[in-house]
Structure formats: structure tokens, C-alpha cells
Amino acid sequence: MNSYFLPIFFILGLNYSDMDDNSLEYKKISILRSKKIYELNKMIEVLRNHIEDLNEKLEKFISGEFSNNQTNLDECYRYQQIIQKLETKCKNLEIDFYCSEYKVKALEQVIEDPTTKVKSDLMCIICEENKRNILFSPCNHVVACEECYQKDTSGVCYVCREKVRKCEYAYLV
């Protein structure tokens, strides 16, 4: 246990050389640091116990003491499905955010200069830098540029959320 005190002293930055050993301040700091060291050692002990528990569970799993491995596999599969659904929801929320952000910016531009509406209607709703040039089928929305669509993995239209079956190049004038 003493081997843990030396690194912790260095971590805490103890430097008593410029303090008077008899000073009240020295004693207060010494007590506070001792408490901190005690707390850190307790945390280390808790973490070690947790690691030991995890290692025991891993050994049991490897040695086959778990009676129903199929249940574990089913559980893993179920968690993977949940994760996949959450990732899809996250991607959809991201798309919603970009669409909303685009609409707000477009409205702000129209308020400032009504002639900019025509220009902004031709720009990609994701990056707002490139012209829209991808036609989604079957919904026929043209809202994204090729670059943004290639980055997207959701496979749904940004406007109506319909599954995109086919994409074609479209040139808006």
C-alpha cells in the first residue's frame, strides 16, 4: 500500500520545502492532503475490486460456466438492434436539424433581401454551398447536392422521409 503514496504525492504537487514545519498552515494542508490520499486509495481499491469481478466474470464466460450462451447471444443481438435504432433516430434528428436551420436562414435572408430567396432555393439544404442536383425517386424532391447525399447513409428523403429508391442528377436553372 505504501507504493501508492509516492506517485500520489507527486500528482498532488506536494512541496513542503518552503513552509515552516510548525506553522498552522502546514498542518492544515498536511491534513487535507492526507485525507485526499486516503480517498484516492479507497477509490483505487474499489476500482481494483471491480476489475477483479470483471475478470472473474470473463473467466467464467470463457470457461463455459454460463449455462445458456444462446441467451447471451440473443441479448447481444437485441442490444445491437437497439443501438442501430438509436443511431438511425440520431441521424434523422440531424437531418431535421439541418433542414430547420436551412429554413430559418432562408427566412432571414428573405426578410433582409427578398431577391435572395430565388438564389437560396437553388442551394443544397445540407451544406448551403453547392447547388441542388440530386433528384430523389419516388418523391421527386430535389434538395441536396451530390456531395452531401454521398455522405448520408440514411437513404431517406430529407423533406418527406420517404425511402429513396433511386437517385438521378437534376440541374436546376
Categorize the per-residue pLDDT at 76 as very low, low, confident or very high, splitting at 50, 70 and 90: low
Write down the pTM of the prediction: 0.35
Asked if residues 60 and 66 have their Cβ atoms less than 8 Å apart, the reply is yes
Q: Are both 161 and 101 inside the same structural domain?
A: yes
User: Does a structural domain hold residue 74?
Assistant: no
User: Does a structural domain hold residue 76?
Assistant: no
Q: Are both 50 and 107 inside the same structural domain?
A: no
User: Does a structural domain hold residue 138?
Assistant: yes
The three cell numbers locating residue 121: 432555393
Asked if residues 142 and 160 have their Cβ atoms less than 8 Å apart, the reply is no
Q: Are both 86 and 62 inside the same structural domain?
A: no
HEC profile for 6-19? HHHHHHHCCCCCCC
pLDDT higher than threshold 50 for residue 16: no
- In the chain, where does DSSP find H-type helix? 5-12, 24-63, 69-112, 116-120, 146-151
Mean pLDDT rounded to a whole number for the chain = 71
Q: pLDDT digits over 110-150, tens only?
A: 666 666 555 667 888 888 888 888 888 888 888 888 888 88
Q: What is the pLDDT of residue 120?
A: 66
Q: Are both 135 and 62 inside the same structural domain?
A: no
pLDDT higher than threshold 50 for residue 2: no
Q: Which domain holds residue 35?
A: 2-66
User: Does a structural domain hold residue 148?
Assistant: yes
